Amino acid sequence: MDVTLLGTGAPQGLPRPGCPCAACATAVGDEARAATALLVDGALMIDLTPGPAFAAARAGRSLAGVRQVLLSHPHDGPAMEVPAGLPQPGRVADGRELALLDGHRVRATAVDIPGTGYEISGADGERLLYLPPGAAPAGLGNGNSRAAGGGAEGVGGAGPYDLVLLDVLARPDALARLRASGAVDAATDVVAVHLDHGVPPGPELHRRLAAVGARAVADGSTLLVGEFHAVPDLPRRTLVLGGARSGKSVEAERRLAAFPDVVYVATGGTREGDQDWAQRVSLHRERRPSSWRTVETCDLVPLLEAAGPGRAAAGPGTDAAGPGEGGGPGAGSRTGRPAGVSPLLIDCLALWLTHVMDEVGAWDDATWEAGGRQALRERTDALVAAVRETHRPVVAVSNEVGSGVVPATSAGRRFRDELGRLNAAFAAECEQVLLVVAGQALALRG
């Protein structure tokens, strides 16, 4: 079964008509995209794109054999024409199945916005899932566990799809839900469609998609369902560095937004009477997916060791999931994975270091020289060793503070120096290291 993408853009296309933004200005060549539409084996068309006959011709295809045209969503883009000779477009009711004469079977799946997803099976058993713009599958939970009753009747009930086409950038949680349900696995080809001007086209678009195990293709591309496509290996350990308000936490969160069962490790805790700190914490909480579990702790080593062979997934701290979710990040039996493989997002190492320096008395010169220095080394060495040995995906955030003015106090200089040493040691154990400046992520490694 092959799928030709007559368009891969949002309903209004990319660039958007009349839009002066930088993304639209640079959406040229292969990065210019018409509204998403699919041509399956030359016989089935899903959604319409402007000038579909010309789009098909540019891709070396013909619409002469199309026997069914299905729509997935209410159309709010440019006016669409139905070329002469094509069947009148229609939609299939959720849960209903349509059998075509050429052997394709189309099953309509419910989504969480107005519209319909389509599960298409070929004559040889290949399967693909197509979701409309801005949509996630309905009835699959929130990306934190396998949905109840998600058997053969649900999305992905017959096992992982060979190909999934969805709005990855606008709805990364949809991909997280599909992964949690088993409908997407490491062999599934995940292709982003409905691409809009929210992300700059070109290298940044492809970088963000690769970070979540997806890819984008140009309009007119033909995909063979079930054919292997190499997607960059997802790094197990990533360190995201940046200055204050640089966007480092947003970048870290973005890298795990399309994965289920994420455990957010908050090392900052609470600060009585500090309204500015409370506001910062609130903004972080509002930005995170509701499915993520939060653990407030600076005891990071047990969390990193939890997924090791033969280890129980018990972790310290306060788990925001509440009673019944377990005491740590490994309550993953509902997803069919071993306990403890939930990804960790640690935010941040600078606050962890502050806490440890408090505990060892590193701020006092006499205590520092009398044993505080050695105690801190032992704690940081233990953390770095745990990162080296961990079996779970980790994204950690840390401040880059060595490029500014020299602190006026010895304690300030000590913190700056020790954070620099910690960042360097932690980065040495990571497959990928990023530096975020003005919201732009620069790859230092990986």
**Is 129 in contact with 119 (CB distance < 8 Å)?**
yes
Residue 90 DSSP code: B
Helix (H) or strand (E) holding 256: helix 248-256
Could you give the CA distance from residue 243 to residue 401 in angstroms, rounded to a whole number?
7
**Is 116 in contact with 72 (CB distance < 8 Å)?**
yes
| Amino acid residing at 79 | A
Determine how many CB atoms are found less than 10 A away from the CB of residue 215: 17
DSSP string covering 203-255, please? HHHHHHHHHTT-B---TT-EEETT-----PPPPSEEEEEE-TTSSHHHHHHHH
Q: What sign has the CA pseudo-torsion 436, 424, 379, 418?
A: negative
Strand 105-110 vs strand 116-121: parallel, antiparallel, or unpaired?
A: antiparallel
Asked if the bond preceding 11 is cis, omega within 30° of 0, the reply is no
Residues paired with residue 119 on neighbouring β-strands, in sequence order:
107, 129
Could you give the CA distance from residue 403 to residue 281 in angstroms, rounded to a whole number?
25
Could you give the CA distance from residue 437 to residue 248 in angstroms, rounded to a whole number?
8
Residue 194 annotated as catalytic: no
Among the listed residues 206, 284, 355, 391, the single catalytic one is 284
Start-to-end C-alpha separation, the chain? 35
Determine how many CB atoms are found less than 10 A away from the CB of residue 261: 24
Listed in sequence order, the residues at least 6 apart from 385 whose beta carbon sits closer than 8 Å to its beta carbon are none
Cross-sheet strand order for the sheet of 127-130:
97-99, 105-110, 116-121, 127-130, 163-166, 189-192
Residues assigned a catalytic role: 284
